[in-house]
Amino acid sequence: SAVISQKPSRDICQRGTSLTIQCQVDSQVTMMFWYRQQPGQSLTLIATANQGSEATYESGFVIDKFPISRPNLTFSTLTVSNMSPEDSSIYLCSPKKGNTEAFFGQGTRLTVV
């Protein structure tokens, strides 16, 4: 398994501001994914964080709204920009080592007021 540290664990933010979420893994992983989980819903993939290159975004998610960095194989950040109440969700990073299990941290519970 992998130990995942995601920060912050929760935050309450004003609309129009931005929040950067950090994800640190205790070992190198080939793939890192960011998911959003809206209240009472399943997990929706936002993007794949690629080390050394631009992230790959899923339909409905754009780089200007959710910029992602992945400077090395153990760390990634997701920024939620220009937040609105609709962005209130749990955001989860998920490292994956090739064709093996995907793990999740505790997530970041974001409330936008």
Partner 1 sequence: GENVEQHPSTLSVQEGDSAVIKCTYSDSASNYFPWYKQELGKGPQLIIDIRSNVGEKKDQRIAVTLNKTAKHFSLHITETQPEDSAVYFCAADTGRRALTFGSGTRLQVQP
Stretch that binds partner 1, among 17-25, 63-71, 77-85, 99-107 (CB under 8 A): 99-107
Instruction: Give the nearest distance from C-beta 41 to partner 1 in angstroms.
Output: 8
- Counting contacts by CB under 8 A, is residue 95 touching partner 1? no
Q: Considering only residues 15-54, where is the footprint of partner 1 by CB under 8 A?
A: 31, 33, 35, 41-43, 45, 48
* Residue 61 makes contact with partner 1 by CB under 8 A: no
| Complex with partner 1: residue 42 or 53, whichever CB lies closer | 42
| Residue at 75: amino acid letter | F
Residues with Cβ within 8 Å of 97's Cβ and at least 6 positions away in sequence, in order, are 2, 27, 29, 30, 31
**DSSP letter (8 states) at residue 102:** B
Q: How far is the CB of 43 from partner 1 (least distance, A)?
A: 5
Classify 8 in phi/psi space as left (phi over 0), alpha (psi -120 to 50) or beta. beta
Handedness of CA 61, 78, 13, 11 (dihedral sign): positive
Interacting residue with partner 1 among 3, 12, 20, 101 (CB under 8 A): 101
What is the CA 100 to chain-centroid distance, rounded?
A: 20
DSSP secondary structure code for residue 6 in this structure = E
Residues that bind partner 1 (CB under 8 A): 1, 31, 33, 35, 41-43, 45, 48, 92, 94, 96, 98-99, 101-107, 109
